[in-house]
Amino acid sequence: MNEIHDQIGEEGISAFVAAFYRRVKEDDLIGPMYPADDWEGSEKRLRDFLIYRCGGSQRYLEERGHPRLRMRHFPFPIGEAERDRWLKLMGEALDESEVPEPSREMLDAFFAQTADFMRNR
């Protein structure tokens, strides 16, 4: 995944995360799962996590420690519909941001695997 940071950098990751959150705010299924008073914090956490995961800054680890994704997401009911909607919105964000290959292929695979792993219903 380091290739993603090398190809699109923090700016590219930040762009598709912002495009994703614009969609989530308007979404009737997964939007309500996000804290209405902390949209900026939610966006920052995902952005920092992806920058770290893609080979960039270690800011996420320094501020939050190990990702523990399943534990952090367990309070939210995530079934197939929620997983599929998350993937749809992220796919649209990647399209809007014109993430190039091979980064797009790697991100699609990573998001599909991770989103399925987050299911808890």
pLDDT in tens, 4-25: 999 999 999 999 999 999 999 9
Local structure of residue 43 (DSSP, 8 states)? H
pTM for this model (two decimals): 0.92
Which domains does the chain possess?
2-117 (1.10.490.10)
Chain-centre distance for alpha carbon 16: 9
Q: Tell me: the pLDDT tens digits for 33-61?
A: 999 999 999 999 999 999 999 999 999 88
pLDDT score of 70 more than 80: no
Distance CA 23, CA 17 (A): 10
Local structure of residue 31 (DSSP, 8 states)? G
For 60, the enclosing helix (H) or strand (E) is: helix 59-64
Distance CA 105, CA 102 (A): 5
Please give the pLDDT value at position 74.
78
Please give the pLDDT value at position 69.
78
